[in-house]
Amino acid sequence: MGQRTSDTRGITFEDAVVPKENVLGGEGNGFKLAMKAFDRTRPIVAAAATGVAKRALDESVKYSLQRKTMGVFIAEHQAVSQMLANMAIDVEAATLLMLRAAQGTDDGILAPYDASIAKAYAADAAMRCSTDAVQIFGGNGYNKEYPVEKLMRDAKIYQIYEGTAQIQRLIIAREILMKAKMMNQ
């Protein structure tokens, strides 16, 4: 599908022996270490997804000001202008959420709540914006001659890697409930 330049593969280790001095964080702590790493990398994924959403918006604005139907630019049709507005809202919100999560990372604060919200929202925004871009382009949006079909293919992976959209929501809910329980003690 998308991100064809990323040659991603699964690997399996069978009967692999890791010397004690090469074990990171101690035996049995690998999952915790990986989760902490995700808190640092999810804002980066959010930034990339936000970039896809922004490109989808930019391409849609440009195309809608060039393409005419019924004697007017398609940008002047209410349905298209509403889609453009929703795309802009998504891009702005994703940008702000990503910046908040990135600032926490820069400040040395591991914040799974902020990182997961930024990643989940930006990934969903990229998918919504790229889907809307294909719709705005009409039949041309499905065509490889135009950039939006690639954006739609590329957007999907952001809802999957670094934790699926559903996993992000579990993390967010866990953090909300943990804070609520602490306040009620």
In tens digits, the chain (185 residues) has pLDDT values of 556 556 677 889 899 888 888 888 888 888 888 888 888 899 999 999 999 999 999 999 999 999 999 999 999 999 999 999 999 999 999 999 999 999 999 998 878 999 999 999 999 999 999 999 999 999 999 999 999 999 999 999 999 988 999 999 999 999 999 999 999 88
The pLDDT of residue 185 is 83
Neighbours of 28 (CB within 10 A): 8
- Residue 70 backbone dihedrals phi, psi, to 5 degrees: 50, 35
DSSP codes joined into one string, 133-168:
HHHHHGGGGGSTTSTHHHHHHHHHGGGTTTS-HHHH
Q: Give the closest residue to 52 by CA, choosing from 108, 90, 86, 85.
A: 90
Catalytic residues: 162
Coil, helix or strand at residue 114: helix
Coil, helix or strand at residue 176: helix
pTM beyond 0.85? yes
